[in-house]
Chains A and B, each alone.
Chain A
């Protein structure tokens, strides 16, 4: 049974169609990279899944619920945590406050405060720099630290699926390495399902897993990251060779 399933999902902005009838499904515990050039529609697809930009057509199911057109908070509460492009930290809130925002979604269940505290320590264990600066304003963090913060914040809600839009954007390669290292470790620890958007296939090939190539709003290729990454088809599809 798949955790996330899209069928014929389209996203339109006025007359522009950013995502065209995309269909795929993702099993629990899987790691999927969606790669593709600028304007491929990757972010639009993620925003549709998270409920931020409702799809103009098709159907999205998550954790046995039809989430098509549902509000972002409802989708988040089902266990889908989204880290949007551009690291949206709450700049005027402290780091710890940033981390705590999402924990309120469990406030109806017993013992949620204790669990949030445990979760907080777990995030701090993964990203010690956040603990050192937990009372300072999040807006003052460096780009890499902010990326760690938003990933940590997404984990605080104890989600089943984390969708991350370009975690490496604007980061030095060694910082990106760190971020990925932590992500992979976390995934192993929690049997988390990951959906990661990146422009290039480099990371996907390093990490392994499943990879899809998106271009012009469509999914052109879908397969094993390492095998696909080395294939001629990938190059051709990415740059659009042989299309007229």
Chain B
């Protein structure tokens, strides 16, 4: 019972990370058909925003020492600002370009961010202790669940609920949904393209910052590659979810988290190193049976 619960919480917290990442990608894809591969590097940049630039092995904490009620808004603002800046400086110039061109531009931007971090901080992972009180375990029905895992899941649920409410209940949310479905038509109804796109980037950047907080506290390190692995899974989740479908992205994120966690448990120890190969195998199976994704962007049917 206890270990089953542990697996469940592992799956949910890993899935939360993937779901948040996938949402960040799907939001931007929805309004401008851009697959933003720089998203992972924005995540990494958010982690490093907590440190002073230095190439020493020891991290010099800057914002990382703030109390949580300042730290969280600070980091969310950094993520949103960085993401909006990338739109203004880079992606705005590619609005009329085809999706492949935009995707390549996002790769390029990702490299620029990564090497910028490399220059300021060196490539060595630095250990940081972010919100250390969260690593204590909590006893639930005989399972010892790290507090951080519970918080990760709770925060993700809160973010999902908040985002859904925002999209469904606010004027800006309505405009974003309309623009995601038919951008030109929305503009012909007076919806301002720049505002909607910048809003999507801001939300996506804030989601990246949330991931940075979770990853930073979970791993206790700052590493310029740390966004990349989440980004890959998140990208896969948006594809399985049905490109542009927010609900699909979230669903697929949790599904991937569950598959990865279960594989970790049921695979024989020798095969665990190849867990990801099995996960990708499962992904291929999903795409064979539903090439349009679990929830295609305009579909209403739900099937898992």
* Chain A interface (Cβ < 8 Å from any Cβ of B): 50, 52, 71-73, 76-77, 81-82, 84, 88, 90-93, 97-98, 100-102, 104-105, 107, 137, 139, 153-154, 157
Contacts and interface: CB of A to CB of B under 8 A. Distances in A.
Contacts of A104: 171, 174-175, 190-191
Interface in B267-283: none
B260 to A, nearest CB: 30
A159 B188 CA distance: 12
A81 to B, nearest CB: 8
B187 A91 contact: no
Interface in B165-187: 171, 174-175, 177-178, 181-182, 184-187
A139 B192 CA distance: 24
A92 B298 contact: yes
A71 B181 contact: no
B184 A52 contact: yes
A107 B178 CA distance: 17
B298 A101 contact: no
Residue among A50, A92, A153, A157 with most chain B CB within 10 A: A92
Nearest to B168: A97
B300 interface: yes
B189 interface: yes
Nearest to A77: B190
Nearest 6 pairs between A and B by C-beta? A105-B190, A102-B189, A76-B190, A72-B187, A88-B185, A101-B178
Contacts of A101: 174-175, 178, 186, 189, 191
Interface of B: 171, 174-175, 177-178, 181-182, 184-193, 298, 300
Contacts of B181: 90-93
Contact of A137 (B177, B178, B193, B300): B300
B177 A71 contact: no
Contacts of A157: 189-190
A107 B300 contact: no
Nearest to B175: A104
Contact of A76 (B182, B188, B300): B188
A104 B175 CA distance: 8
22 contacts: A52-B184, A52-B188, A71-B193, A72-B184, A73-B190, A73-B192, A76-B188, A77-B190, A81-B189, A82-B188, A88-B182, A90-B178, A97-B174, A97-B177, A101-B174, A101-B189, A102-B189, A102-B190, A104-B171, A105-B190, A139-B300, A157-B190
Contacts of B171: 104, 107
Contacts of A98: 178
Contact of B298 (A91, A97, A153, A154): A91
